[in-house]
Structure 1
Amino acid sequence: MQAFDYDEVLDLILAKDSRYHREAYYFVREGLDYTQQKLVKAAGSKDPRHVSGRELMDGMRRYALENYGPMAKTLLNEWGICATEDFGEIVFNLVENNLLAKTEEDSREDFVNGFDFDEALIAPFQPDRPSAVDPPQPKAKRKS
């Protein structure tokens, strides 16, 4: 098997598909590692297993929130990731260039309508809105 350099393969991907920044590919790879570690820990296992598209989207959402906090959506958008479908495009660019593997059941469609970026990445940092209450009434003036 021929050794390859991850960055060299990314250069080839970016030359063919410039929709996403290099950082987007690193993010997806790190998000996959994060997700696998969480799933292994939750299962009490030692060996990583295949991660479905839905599991990966949830893991990347959690990874983004933990690492980038309120800046998560801004950074992802800056890298070209504006919707969960973009995760799928990046994953399959990596698969097509032998940097990730997939099963027969995996497809780009697994990443369609995964979650709303505003709800998932911005709402957790929004202040709670006060409940609707009657506005305060002006105090009655006293007669002097």
Structure 2
Amino acid sequence: MTARAEELTVNPKLWNLIQEDPRYMYEAYEFVCETVTYTQERLGRAPAEHQREQSDTNHVCGQELLRGACDLAVQQFGMMAPVVFKLWGVHTTDDFGELVFNLIKIEQLSKSDRDDPNDFRDVFDLHAALADGFQLTTAAYPARKIDR
């Protein structure tokens, strides 16, 4: 059996961005773009297939995007979501604002006149939101006595 290498497609705009601002991993930017689409679909605001540009009816605000990011991260990464975010350099909701506005700067996302980086400032505890609903316990495993 031989392994076949998949061809990776790297977005040159994103690649240049992480060279200029190495705080966040490439995957964090891809995840934010995926989150926009996921959140639009979840809220019934996905652009129609024939629609070339985003409109106000497709817009998602900072808080909606943050909730969508947490939902999507838990779906994709489960209990490992906080670890994945940490590896990507994402620790707070403020980091999502930085990611979003960096993507706007390189024209990978668009913004409305109402959008502001402060929309992401200290919205909620990101780690707690990712861990919500998960509980680590050893209750399923009975305590064992070790004879010495």
**TM-score calculated relative to the size of structure 2:** 0.75
Partners of 2:27 and 2:88 within 8 A in 1: yes
Matched, 1:34 2:38: yes
Report the equivalent of 1:17.
Answer: 21
Residue 58 of structure 1, aligned match among 51, 67, 70 = 67
Q: Which residue identity is paired with 1:73?
A: P
1:74-109 per-residue CA deviation (whole Å, 9 max, x = no partner) reads: 001100001110000000000011111001110110
Give percent identity, aligned residues only.
Answer: 38
Unaligned 5+ segments in structure 2 are 1-8, 49-56, 138-148
| The structure with more helix, counted as a fraction of residues | 1
Distance 1:51 1:6, change over 3 A: farther
Q: Distance in 1 between matches of 2:37 and 2:10?
A: 15
State the number of aligned residues. 122
Q: Given residue 24 of structure 2, which amino acid in structure 1 is its aligned partner?
A: Y
Q: Is the 8 A contact 2:91 2:127 kept in 1?
A: no
Moved over 6 A (4+): none
TM-score by length of 1: 0.77
Shift of 1:127: 4.8
> Aligned letter for 1:62?
D
2: distance between equivalents of 1:8 and 1:127?
40
Corresponding residue number in structure 2 for 1:69: 78
CA–CA distance in structure 2, aligned partners of residues 6 and 105 of structure 1: 31
Given that 1:6 and 1:99 are in contact with CA atoms closer than 8 Å, whether structure 2 keeps it comes out as no
**RMSD of aligned alpha carbons:** 2.2
Please say which structure displays the higher CA radius of gyration. Answer: 1
> What's the offset of the Cα at 1:16?
0.9
Contiguous gaps of at least 5 residues in structure 1: 129-144
CA distance in structure 1 between the aligned counterparts of 2:98 and 2:63, rounded to whole angstroms: 14
Q: Which residue of 1 aligns with 2:51?
A: none
Name the structure 1 match of 2:128: 119
Tell me the SS of whatever aligns to 2:115.
coil
